[in-house]
Amino acid sequence: MEKALAYAISALLVAFGAWILIAGLSSGSPALWTIVALVPITIGIVSAFGPV
């Protein structure tokens, strides 16, 4: 159960980052928002596939 919750949180982090990325691409400075979106995406991927 704990592992499933950990994967769900990781997936939510990646989804949040993707949402920032999509919203940021239509903004005034897409490069800035792309960099900002990489933070939660990276954290989500590392927490899902990182060391146990």
Q: Is residue 7 part of a domain?
A: yes
Q: Is residue 50 part of a domain?
A: no
Q: Which structural domain range is residue 41 located in?
A: 2-45
Q: Is residue 51 part of a domain?
A: no
Whose tokens are 């990646």? That residue is 14
CA atoms 4, 52, 36, 34: torsion sign = negative
**Are the CB atoms for 50 and 28 separated by under 8 Å?**
no
Q: Is residue 52 part of a domain?
A: no
C-alpha to C-alpha distance for 25 and 37, rounded to whole angstroms? 10
pLDDT digits (tens, 9 = 90+) for 13-46: 999 999 999 999 998 899 999 999 999 999 999 9
pLDDT, residue 51, reads: 79
- Please report which confidence band the pLDDT of residue 1 belongs to, taking 50, 70 and 90 as the band edges: confident
Whose tokens are 């919750």? That residue is 5
C-alpha to C-alpha distance for 9 and 37, rounded to whole angstroms? 16
Q: How many domains does the chain have?
A: 1
> How many other CB atoms are there within 10 angstroms of residue 52's CB atom?
4
Checking if the pLDDT of 12 tops 80, the result is: yes
